Amino acid sequence: MASMNISLPDPMRDYVQNRIDSGQYASVSDYVRDLIRRDQGGVEDEERWLRDLDASIVQSLAEMSAGGGVDLDEACDMALRDLDRAGKARR
């Protein structure tokens, strides 16, 4: 296993040491490995979200090109009318 040396300001070093002293981590290396795993997972989640978003955009554009979909202005007007009716019904 490779090793790395890092420098931390005293407050950060103390924070890490408190996490170790509380039993949450076995060592500084354990703490850093956990941070890296969490970061990797976050990056993977973001990449998956972006792929899903891209696919959704492509699908929506294809639907719009085929004559589907709803005009945004019309959809907003409908939503506002529905909200207005719901507000009047409560009165």
The answer to whether the pTM exceeds 0.75 is no
What is the average per-residue pLDDT within 3-31?
96
In tens, the pLDDT along 47-70 reads: 999 999 999 999 999 998 998 888
> Has residue 36 got a pLDDT over 90?
yes
15 pLDDT band (50/70/90 cuts)?
very high
In the predicted structure, residue 90 carries a pLDDT above the cut 90: no
| Ramachandran quadrant class, 5 (left: phi over 0; alpha: psi -120 to 50; beta: rest) | beta
Residue 69 contacts residue 59 (beta carbons within 8 Å):
no
Q: What angle do CA 62, 66, 79 make, to 5 degrees?
A: 85
